[in-house]
Amino acid sequence: MEKPRSTRYFAATAALAFVFAEAPVFARDAGTSVKSEASDSPAQEADQLEGAEAGALALLDVPLEDLLTLESTSVAKKRQKVAESAAAVYVVTQETISRSSASTIPDLLRLVPGVEVAQLTNGSSAVTIRGFNSKIANSLLVMVDGRSIYNSAASGVFWDQLLLPFADIERIEVVRGPGASLWGANAVNGVINIITKHSSDTLDATATGRAGSRSQEASFTYGSRLSDTLSFRTYGVYRHDNGLLDANGGELSRRWQGLSVGTRMDWQPTIDDAVTLSADYGKGDFDTPFLELRRSPLNPGYDPIAAEGGFKSYNVLGRWTHQQNEKLDWSLQVYHSYLNRREVGFAGVRSKVLDADLGVHWVPNATHDIAVGLGARQLDDESTSTPSVTLTRLANTDRWLSGYVQDDISLIEDKLRLTIGAKLEKNDFTGFEFQPSARVFLKVGKGLALWGAVSRAVRTPSLLERVTQISLTALLPGAPENPLPLPVYPRLNGVPDKKSEILLSYEAGFRADLAEGWSLDVAGYYNDYSRLLALAPTGFQPILSPSIAQPVGLYADFDLGGAADARTWGFEALLKGQIASGWRMEASYSHLNYEVGPDPLSGAPYELVFPLQGSPRHQLGLRSYADLSDNVLLDTQLRHVSELYHGQVPAYTALDARLTYRPRVGLEMSLIGEGLLDDQRLEFIQNLYPTPPSYVPRTVAAEVRLQF
């Protein structure tokens, strides 16, 4: 049964599309891909992609890019085997990507243990790790080749803008749990790093076309060598989507359409240097189903509309990596990004980011492996006030400085390792932020390893949390949340001195090789959050009408300065192996539990702005890769997601399948079905602004990939 929402909770969930949380990160990432030979299983491929420790490499034994690409998001900012990481790490390999039924990057992440993915409106996805899911999940850091795509104005990731050809993605590294000691603020619940291929690995042309019952897309990528040391790649992607459906199967919106073009150049001027330059441009237009609040108190209520939105964006990035000697290397990265986006509820937001980062990796001896870095970032945000969203400051500039140090200490060679480190950041609105961590890794014996970690991470408040007043909803008379005979209009007010949210996280896990070809990976966690974003009531104000000698409504004012406590705990398990020759399987299970501290005024649990009820307590997944013959493949994935919001979003089970035929080298034809078990399903409800429930329909599609 649906539990009634209180006035404060309704106000929070309905209006917070604009309570955006800024979390700049000074991250230096190995954007160039790590080359590896093909492996026989996903586990072997992931290990080869991660590579060996940098100190064990000889300068002339491997390609230069393997030497210079010493970092990854797998905990240590360097190439490290997944099996030897003191964290919960999962790698979505190129093989997994090419054999998936997914057409978007969020769909690729659906079966990663601990990752929550839901489609909620036209073109929009809610993606997070270990709780607090929403359209603007604000505790998850996402990067593409070392460039953060976390948006300063939206305090999250616009996943619909992430249009990359799947053929160009080398791998997607997912770290569940805090990564703030290296990556900084906003790397609270996890880190996702999308790494594209080195351009020398794409010296051909690849075209992909997909036509389905609800969407159509096409991509093209072309790479070539200009000389023995200089290569490049260009790409283009176009996507059109009809959007989601209402409860009766009717159309809710007209379209989502977008395109992206880009290029990457890799240059090796000397045997000790590598240079990468890249640039991307994207644009899109979309309709969002929206319940628009009537502004007249004499006629309270909503009018359903399809709000028009759109975006234009570009970014440029340069990175220079230098191998000083076999014990010392450094990397300098600079990028600039720009976004102009029109979204529901406000006229437009323009964001500019200029980021510079210097990282040094030093291996002084066999015991210590040290990473040190410095970074600086400037964020320029502009927005426009509307009747629903009023800003006390329309333009703002935030500046950040940061530094980190981490020492990977080998206490017993190849057996016991201790990693300690911290990141110190200084911004001009919350001051200094200190984010330390300690991790231990123990190899008990052949095929068995244990690890544990303690970390502190912060999420910094966005500009709009500090300077905005939001009024998007009304509590109508007779609603469970409003016992009064008058409509109540909540107003959410920013707090200029809002402090950062804090997480203290405890993690532990083990990895074990079972029978031949089978492995088990289990990770558990306990997260203690403080100063979470919650509403603080400040009073009521009557709305008077000049034609009626009595109030016609009430304004209910809340500050965004509430500070709530919460705890989450759970575990994730992944079992994978080979059933028979040409048939591999992965089974995963994730469990999440939580409790929220009491509100001192009511004694009831705080009603968080980003509630935990939007995260499933249980997720199960089963993925199968079957080679029916040398040129026929059948890949399926089955997943179960438990209910959300006390049953307002029912539990569902979904089956996706992909049947692929490869008549010759370079040509692939596939039939794809998604959501095959139901006509349509509800995956999420929009808790950030009023919108009708949007249902994901069953879809079928045909896809052709041609490499030439």
> What confidence tens digit (pLDDT) does each residue in 297-331 have?
778 888 888 888 899 999 999 999 999 999 999 99
| Residue 545 confidence class, pLDDT cut points 50, 70, 90 | confident
Which SS3 state, helix, strand or coil, does residue 98 take? helix
pLDDT score of 444: 93
State how far the Cα of 157 lies from the Cα of 311, in Å rounded to an integer: 13
pLDDT digits (tens, 9 = 90+) for 684-706: 997 777 888 999 999 999 999 99
State how far the Cα of 292 lies from the Cα of 474, in Å rounded to an integer: 10
Which of the 8 DSSP states describes residue 647? G
Tell me the percentage of the chain whose pLDDT exceeds 90.
59
State how far the Cα of 97 lies from the Cα of 597, in Å rounded to an integer: 41
pLDDT score of 101: 94
**Neighbouring-strand partners of residue 586:** 576, 623
258, pLDDT greater than 90: yes
Nearest to 287 by CA among 314, 330, 258, 319: 258
Q: How far apart, in Å, do the first and last CA atoms of the chain sit? A: 56
State how far the Cα of 552 lies from the Cα of 24, in Å rounded to an integer: 44
pLDDT score of 49: 36
384, pLDDT greater than 60: yes
Better-scored residue on pLDDT, 647 or 608: 647
Nearest to 345 by CA among 161, 468, 493, 495: 468
504, pLDDT greater than 90: yes
Task: Over range 595-614, report the average pLDDT.
Answer: 82
Which residue type sits at 539?
G
Please report the domains of the chain, with CATH numbers, ordered by start residue.
Answer: 7-707 (2.40.170.20)
Sign of the Cα pseudo-torsion (426, 427, 428, 431, in order): negative
pLDDT score of 405: 96
Query: β-strand 548-580 against 488-493: which pairing, if any?
Result: parallel
Which SS3 state, helix, strand or coil, does residue 94 take? helix
pLDDT score of 48: 36
State how far the Cα of 557 lies from the Cα of 15, in Å rounded to an integer: 13
pLDDT score of 38: 34
Which two tokens mark 662? Answer: 């490869």
CA-based max dimension of the chain: 88
In terms of average pLDDT, the best of 339-353, 460-474, 593-607, 636-650 is 636-650
pLDDT digits (tens, 9 = 90+) for 77-115: 677 788 889 999 999 999 999 999 999 999 999 989 999
- Please give the torsion angle defined by the CA atoms of residues 525, 528, 532 and 537, in that order, rounded to the nearest 10 degrees: 130
Task: Tell me how many degrees the CA angle 349-467-554 measures, rounded to the nearest 5.
Answer: 105
pLDDT score of 13: 34
Q: Which of 12-16, 69-73, 201-205, 362-366 has the lowest mean pLDDT?
A: 12-16
Q: Are 78 and 68 in contact (CB under 8 A)?
A: no
pLDDT score of 492: 87
In terms of average pLDDT, the best of 12-16, 119-123, 374-378 is 374-378
591, pLDDT greater than 90: yes
Residues 6+ apart with CB under 8 A from 514: 520, 577
State how far the Cα of 278 lies from the Cα of 326, in Å rounded to an integer: 28
524, pLDDT greater than 60: yes
339, pLDDT greater than 60: yes
Query: β-strand 230-241 against 548-580: which pairing, if any?
Result: unpaired
The pTM for the full model equals 0.87
pLDDT digits (tens, 9 = 90+) for 202-254: 999 999 999 999 999 999 999 999 999 999 999 999 999 988 999 999 888 77
Q: Are 255 and 287 in contact (CB under 8 A)?
A: yes
| Residue 15 confidence class, pLDDT cut points 50, 70, 90 | very low
Q: Are 473 and 482 in contact (CB under 8 A)?
A: no
pLDDT score of 346: 60
Tell me the percentage of the chain whose pLDDT exceeds 70.
88
pLDDT score of 572: 97
pLDDT score of 675: 95
State how far the Cα of 69 lies from the Cα of 63, in Å rounded to an integer: 10
| Residue 153 confidence class, pLDDT cut points 50, 70, 90 | low
pLDDT score of 268: 95
Task: Over range 631-651, report the average pLDDT.
Answer: 95
Q: Are 608 and 596 in contact (CB under 8 A)?
A: yes
- Please give the torsion angle defined by the CA atoms of residues 267, 269, 275 and 277, in that order, rounded to the nearest 10 degrees: -50
Task: Tell me how many degrees the CA angle 585-590-595 measures, rounded to the nearest 5.
Answer: 180
pLDDT score of 479: 80
Residues 6+ apart with CB under 8 A from 66: 34, 35, 51, 57
| Residue 296 confidence class, pLDDT cut points 50, 70, 90 | confident
Better-scored residue on pLDDT, 65 or 488: 488
State how far the Cα of 415 lies from the Cα of 585, in Å rounded to an integer: 30
pLDDT score of 347: 62
Mean pLDDT of the chain: 85
508, pLDDT greater than 80: yes
448, pLDDT greater than 50: yes
391, pLDDT greater than 50: yes
pLDDT score of 345: 59
